Structure 1
Amino acid sequence: MKSRQLTKIAICIALLCVSAYISFPLPFTPAMVTAMTIVINMIAFTLTPKEAFITVGIYLLMGSIGLPVFGGGASGIGKILGPTGGYYFGFWIAPVVMSIVKGKGVSFKRYLVVTIFVGLTIIYALGAIFMSYYQQVSMGTVVMSAIVPFIPGDLIKSVASVYISMALKRALPTLREAC
């Protein structure tokens, strides 16, 4: 890898770590509201699929070995293999798929559609599957407690992340060449 790629990956890992600390719990679900969705979307739109995979993979490895980088400063393999672990796997898969389907040109509408209908769908689906299994509740219960309350905030975060990603691509021509 070139030093430019490594630098982009390192910056994105640092942003993921910081965004996990911008969080607050909701009393009715083990899932937390975090700023991670914004950074995950930015990763998808500014990195290649391979870079996105490596970035989130390193982040998950850091948290798994005990560094307090997960939501609210949590860490450990139990966090990934617990009720909210599906969200973390969604955070790993979603930016890779989004980076693949985002297209070559920069388009606000296309990026927003990809964010909402591809990224959030992957994150919600994996999060719901894990939570339903670990909490031993129906998918309907999980959808009502761990997805529906997050939709308005995630839509706002999606719009913000698309604006930020587009601004980054305009401001840094090297990103355009790399993606």
Structure 2
Amino acid sequence: MTQTPNTEQLRRTVQASLFAALIAAGAFLAVPIGPVPIVLQNMFVLLAGLLLGPRWGLAGVGIYLLAGAIGLPVFAGGTGGIGRMLGPTGGYLLAYLPAVWIVGIVSRKAGGRVMGDVVAMSLGALVIYAMGVPYLKVVTGMSWSRAAAVGMLPFLIGDVLKIAAAVPIARTLRPMTVGRLASHPADGYSRG
């Protein structure tokens, strides 16, 4: 069955919305360990980049952030509002936008290969830390070492585990999300 552009657009919009919901669900599984909680939402952000690509992954993360900014309780611990984006974790939340874009670009350029996915998600995690830790430092007035100690170091092992879990998930789901897009150059996918 050949899909019309409108059908394809609708399918991609639904997928982006589904990832926004998954990111929100990942935020509810929050373990508070200081100003930055342990959450699963960043794993879903990275998966959105792998499975939806840069453009539609960005759309899914944008929907999630917009929902939280207008006050829906989608951020860690069931909170929402623009104040959360201006608080200690705001840099991490805002970093989801460039992170998902980079993951999508790198994964697509690597043709969806396992090592390409690992590199893509590692770069995405680095972007999240590169924006989140300085933002945490500025908002809280912590020293650089203290901000890194509470905003990055406790999460490194968990991020490695999330990436390890995301790779087989992506390999399983990719044929359902990306496989049909090989003929759509606007999304930037090539099997290369």
Same-fold call, TM > 0.5?
Answer: yes
Contact 1:9 1:55 in 2 (8 A): yes
Aligned partner of 1:20 among 19, 27, 50: 27
CA-to-aligned-CA distance 1:138-166 (integer Å, 9 cap, x gap) = 21111112101110011100111121111
Inter-partner Cα distance in structure 1 for 2:21 and 2:164: 22
Equivalent pair of 2:133/2:151 in contact (CA under 8 Å): yes
Q: What is the identity percentage for the equivalent residue pairs of Structure 1 and Structure 2?
A: 31
Are residue 115 (structure 1) and residue 121 (structure 2) matched?
A: yes
Determine which of 171, 176, 179 is the counterpart of 2:179.
176
Given that 1:87 and 1:124 are in contact with CA atoms closer than 8 Å, whether structure 2 keeps it comes out as yes
CA contact (8 A) 1:19 1:39 kept: yes
Higher relative contact order (CA 8 A, sep 6+): 1
Work out whether residues 110 and 116 of structure 2, in 8 Å CA contact, stay in contact via their aligned partners in 1. no
Contact 1:12 1:43 in 2 (8 A): yes
Q: Extract unaligned runs of 5+ from structure 1.
A: none
**Cα distance in 2 for residues equivalent to 1:153 and 1:99:** 21
Q: Distance in 1 between matches of 2:114 and 2:133?
A: 28
Counterpart for residue 156 of structure 1: 161
* Structure that is richer in strand per residue: 1
Cα deviation for residue 175 of structure 1 reads: 2.1
Q: Distance in 2 between matches of 1:71 and 1:151?
A: 18
Q: Distance in 1 between matches of 2:61 and 2:112?
A: 23
- Whether contact under 8 Å (2:88, 2:136) holds in the other structure is yes
> How big is the shift at 1:92?
1.7
**Per-residue CA distance 1:24-79 (angstroms, 9 max, x = gap):** 100xx210101112211110101121111111111111111110000110111010
| 2:17 is equivalent to residue 7 of structure 1 | no
Q: How many residues align?
A: 174
Equivalent residues of 2:23, 2:42 under 8 A apart? no
Distance 1:145 1:82 in 2: 15
Query: Cα RMSD (Å) of the superposition?
Result: 1.3
Deviation at 1:136, TM superposition (A): 0.6
Q: Is the 8 A contact 1:41 1:162 kept in 2?
A: no
- The 2-side partners of 1:74 and 1:91 are apart by 17
